[in-house]
């Protein structure tokens, strides 16, 4: 009986967290000092960020881990200054927390007031939480559609739920 009760509680937590993640808080049409694209995904994050840049969302694009050898599309943009500046800092550590710390440094050095954080829909809640926790900038989230199958999306949500617990206790 205790196992069934535990399974019900865990299932309810997963469903509740999944619904919270799916409801997201992505904002359209916002402008800021920078658009920051979190590494990962299958290119949808960078594509979404480039659409925002083409719409004039910010003068600077920050591609986290943009110099990674496995991300040639980003590598081609790193160091660009026209039509917008592209920065590609290597986060340390090479995690979402490291990305938030790298953003904190850039935002402080450049006095950014508003930053648009781009990441996959399933990752938006945790990434923007960490960005806001570590930076004094106003963080606005913009989700890139992940277009994953239901089982893979569910596995990502489970991973994000566990990672969010870590994010809640991490200090910047």
What's the pLDDT score for residue 157? Answer: 81
- pLDDT, averaged across the chain: 85
Q: Would you say 139 and 115 are in contact if contact means Cβ atoms under 8 Å apart?
A: yes
Comparing C-alpha atoms, which of 103, 120, 140, 123 is closest to residue 28? 140
Whether residue 145 contacts residue 47, with contact meaning beta carbons closer than 8 Å, is answered with no
Q: How confident is the model at residue 13 (pLDDT cuts 50, 70, 90)?
A: low
Of 10-14, 59-63, 134-138, the one with minimum mean pLDDT is: 10-14
* pLDDT value of residue 97: 94
In which domain, by residue range, is 101 found? 2-169
Are 63 and 53 within 8 A, CB to CB?
no
pLDDT of residue 109: 97
Domain with residue 102: its CATH number is: 3.40.50
User: For the chain, what is the domain count?
Assistant: 1
Residue 89 has pLDDT above 70, yes or no: yes
Q: What is the pTM of this model?
A: 0.84
């Amino acid at each position: 009986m205790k196992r069934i009760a535990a399974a019900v509680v865990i299932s309810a937590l997963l469903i509740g967290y999944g619904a919270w993640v799916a409801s997201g808080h992505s904002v359209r049409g916002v402008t800021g000092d920078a658009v920051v694209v979190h590494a990962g995904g299958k290119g949808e994050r960078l594509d979404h960020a480039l659409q925002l840049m083409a719409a004039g969302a910010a003068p600077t694009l920050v591609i986290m881990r943009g110099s990674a050898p496995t991300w040639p599309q980003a590598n081609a943009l790193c160091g660009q200054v026209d039509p917008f500046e592209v920065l590609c800092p290597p986060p340390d550590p090479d995690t979402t927390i490291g990305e938030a710390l790298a953003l904190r440094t850039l935002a402080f050095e450049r006095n950014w007031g508003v930053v648009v954080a781009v990441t996959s829909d399933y990752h938006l809640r945790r990434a923007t939480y960490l960005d806001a926790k570590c930076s004094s900038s106003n963080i606005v989230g913009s989700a890139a559609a992940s277009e994953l199958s239901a089982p893979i999306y569910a596995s990502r949500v489970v991973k994000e739920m566990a990672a969010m617990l870590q994010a809640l206790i991490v200090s910047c």
